[in-house]
């Protein structure tokens, strides 16, 4: 019998368990700086908060809370489709990206073995385990590829998106799972190199949860390729961009026939009424996306330079809103001291296959939060 994972095990897999950490520390959640989850630190947007208040006020505008959601999610699907310039039938909203990984994994398990680049996001393994899907690890050779940063007049921007280092499959019936930008390294993969992989696999699942946060990252999205590649599935999350992890909203872009199958497999109302009501506002808020990308372009290179000045710590340059950091000795005790003494949570990387006790991942904060992390690191790393 498979045991139910405890809260600590779930923290290792994903991070962001703020309530459990605050309970351990004997404080309130707002007193903890959570850099274990890679969320925008200044969200959610004011427009989203206003829309939620309208939904909660009742009356005609408040039916999103009282009534069952529209099973087809037609308004939300149309808004997402308009954002990308695609057919609404090629869009399926989900209860965050995690729900959609589960249905992608059912397709992948039926197609053949799944090739999982390692280190990589542990939730793909969770989803495949639901369907007894076969897994073939695809190790990325260390040191992991790292986006180079180039300082310009408008701040630092990723100068290069690296070619994807994924080989052809061993057989014709394989599925490939890709995260772009890569999690946990933050590497941005070049769209042209990813496009070359599409005809080599029975199924290609691309997780673009962090791509909207990357300055100029959309030009590396595979969403425009979906109409011509029925074996391609792209999964997006609005959690990271909008800081709405508690609201749970993501979507898949794929061939309409595939998404119709998924719709038949899952619960009748996977997206709650509040998320469905505010989703069209969220997806259309380009000013917010630009603000987030300016933050990543400014804080990412600055924070990397500060970390790079700490002896014995080697941060990886990243295109996304997190940094992977390696120590010249194990970092678990350092992470525990940051939590117990400074109420700062960093991501334990032992859940990423191929990493271990010498690695931590830090979610980017605002300047005040980043300075708080740096002060704590300088204090504890000397001991």
Single pTM value for the model: 0.90
pLDDT at position 144 is 57
pLDDT at position 1 is 37
What DSSP string describes 136-170?
A: EEEEPPSSPP---EEEETTEEEE--PBPP-----S
Low-confidence ranges of the chain (pLDDT < 50): 1-13, 147-159
pLDDT at position 226 is 98
pLDDT in tens, 281-313: 889 899 999 999 999 999 999 999 999 999 999
Host H or E run for residue 378: helix 367-381
pLDDT at position 55 is 84
pLDDT in tens, 79-127: 999 999 999 999 999 999 999 999 999 999 999 999 999 999 999 999 9
| Helix intervals (H) in 175-313 | 191-195, 239-242, 256-265, 273-283, 286-308
Q: Are 383 and 47 in contact (CB under 8 A)?
A: no
Domains detected in the chain = 7-45+287-381 (3.90.1150.10), 48-285 (3.40.640.10)
Beta bridge partners of 152: 155
Contacts of 227 (CB under 8 A, 6+ apart): 86, 87, 90
Buried b (16+ CB within 10 A) or exposed e, 306-328: bbeebeebebbbbbbbbbbbbbe
What DSSP string describes 49-87?
A: HHHHHHHHS-SGGGHHHHSPPPTT-HHHHHHHHHHHTS-
What are the angstrom distances between the C-alpha of 380 and each of 228, 336, 337, 340, 342? Answer: 53, 10, 7, 11, 10
């Amino acid at each position: 019998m498979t045991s139910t994972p405890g809260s600590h095990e779930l923290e290792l897999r994903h991070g962001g368990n703020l309530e459990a950490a605050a309970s351990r520390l004997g404080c309130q959640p707002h007193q903890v700086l959570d850099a274990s989850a890679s969320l925008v630190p200044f969200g959610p947007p004011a427009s989203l908060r206003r829309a939620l208040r309208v939904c909660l006020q009742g009356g005609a505008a408040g039916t999103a809370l009282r009534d069952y959601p529209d099973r087809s999610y037609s308004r939300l699907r149309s808004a997402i489709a308009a954002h990308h310039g695609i057919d609404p039938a090629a869009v399926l909203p989900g209860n965050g990206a995690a729900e959609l990984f589960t249905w992608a994994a059912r397709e992948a398990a039926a197609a053949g073995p799944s090739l999982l680049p390692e280190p990589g996001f542990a939730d793909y393994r969770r989803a495949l385990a639901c369907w007894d899907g076969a897994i073939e690890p695809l190790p990325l050779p260390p040191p992991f590829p790292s986006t180079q940063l180039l300082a310009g007049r408008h701040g630092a921007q990723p100068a290069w998106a690296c070619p994807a280092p994924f080989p052809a499959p061993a057989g014709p019936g394989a599925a490939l799972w890709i995260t772009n930008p890569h999690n946990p390294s933050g590497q941005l993969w070049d769209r042209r190199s990813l496009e070359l992989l599409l005809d080599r696999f029975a199924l290609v699942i691309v997780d673009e949860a962090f791509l909207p946060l990357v300055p100029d990252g959309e030009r590396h999205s595979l969403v425009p390729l979906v109409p011509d590649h029925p074996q391609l599935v792209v999964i997006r999350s609005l959690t990271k961009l909008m800081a709405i992890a508690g609201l749970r909203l993501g979507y898949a872009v794929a061939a309409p026939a595939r998404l119709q199958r998924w719709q038949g497999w899952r619960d009748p109302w996977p997206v709650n009424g509040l998320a469905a009501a505010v989703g069209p506002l969220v997806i259309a808020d380009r000013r917010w996306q630009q603000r987030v990308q300016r933050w990543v372009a400014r804080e990412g290179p600055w924070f990397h330079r500060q970390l790079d000045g700490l002896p014995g710590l080697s941060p990886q340059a990243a295109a996304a809103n997190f940094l992977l950091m390696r120590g010249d000795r194990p970092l678990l005790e350092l992470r525990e001291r940051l939590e117990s003494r400074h109420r700062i949570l960093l991501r334990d990387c032992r859940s990423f296959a191929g990493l271990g006790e010498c690695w931590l991942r830090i979610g980017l904060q605002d300047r005040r939060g980043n300075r708080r992390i740096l002060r704590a690191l300088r204090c504890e790393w000397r001991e």
